[in-house]
Chain A
C-alpha cells in the first residue's frame, strides 16, 4: 500500500520545480487539494525559526510540518533553499528516521537530475527518467 500521496520539490523563490501525485484514486479535486496543502506548507517553512546559535548547525530535516485531517506533511530544506515536501496518509505510522532516509535518497536523485548540463537552473524538472526514479523510490517508505 503506497503511503506517500504526493512529492513536491520547490526552488529558492518558492517556485515549484517538481510536483507529482502518487495516490491510486486521484481525482482532479484531490489534485488541487494536494497542491494547496503543499502551498500552505511553504508558509510554515518560512515561519520556522532560522539558525539560532552559530555553533549549532541547523538540521536540514524540518520534521512534521502540519497534520491535516487525512494527511501529514514533512519537509526537508537544503542550504541552497531547495525544499523537498512529502505528503503521506495520516493513518500510516512512519518513523522519523525512515523519512530522513527517504529525503536523502530523494535529494540524491534530485542532484543527479540537476547535474545534467542541459537542465536549466531553477526551471521545471521535465525529465521522464527522474519521474521514473521517484516512482520507483516511493514504495520504499
Chain B
C-alpha cells in the first residue's frame, strides 16, 4: 500500500506546475513576520496561521482530489498515508512519515523531514517553543479533512526551528461527520 501511494505522489508531483521554492519560502517568511508585527501576542499569531491554513485547506481539497484521482479511503490509516505520501508530495514536494498510531487508530503523528517553509529560518530565542512557524500546515490538514467529512484536531508537537530534531504534527480524529442531507430535501 505504501509503494502505491509513493508512486502516485511522485506522478502527481511531476504533472503539476512548479514555482521557485525560494520565492515560496521567502513569501511565507514575510507573511509570518508581518503577522508577528501586527498581533503582538504570539498565541494569536499561531491561531491566525491555523485559520489561514483552514481557509486554504477547504479549497485545496478539491484540487487534490481532481489531480490525484483518489477515491474514498477505507479507514483513517489510509487517510493518513494519502496525506503524507500524496498530499504533501503534491503541494510541497516532500513526503512525510506516519508514525505513533494510538491503540484505537484515531490519532497519529506526521513527521516532516525537510520542511520547505522553514528553509533559512532561524527563530530568535524569545520565539522558540512559542511560535509554531509552520502552523499553517495544521490548518490546511484540518480544512481539507473537514471537506471529506472528518473532523480532526491538528497540533504541532515538535518544531525543528525550536531546537527539536524534526517537525512533528499530531493529528487526532474527533468525529466522522455523517453526510448531512441538504436543507430543503426531506
Contact = CB atoms under 8 A, between A and B. Distances in A.
Interface of A: 112-113, 115-119, 127, 129
B120, B122, B124, most chain A CB atoms within 10 A: B122
A118 B30 CA distance: 9
6 contacts: A113-B122, A115-B22, A116-B122, A117-B32, A117-B33, A119-B122
Contacts of A115: 22, 25-26, 29, 119-120
A117 B124 contact: no
A116 B26 CA distance: 8
The secondary-structure label for the interface of chain B is helix
A118 B120 contact: no
Contacts of A112: 120
Size category, B interface = 10 to 19
The secondary-structure label for the interface of chain A is loop
Contact of A129 (B26, B29, B30, B122): B122
Given A117-B33, A118-B33, A127 B122 contact: yes
Contact of A118 (B25, B119, B121): B121
Contacts of B22: 115
A115 B28 CA distance: 12
B123 interface: yes
A115 B26 CA distance: 7
Interface in B112-131: 119-124, 127
Contacts of B30: 117
Interface in B3-51: 22, 25-26, 29-30, 32-33
B138 to A, nearest CB: 19
Contacts of B32: 117
Given A118-B121, A118-B124, A119-B122, 20 more contacts: A113-B120, A115-B25, A115-B26, A115-B29, A115-B119, A115-B120, A116-B29, A116-B120, A116-B121, A117-B26, A117-B30, A117-B32, A117-B33, A117-B121, A118-B33, A118-B122, A118-B123, A118-B127, A127-B122, A129-B122
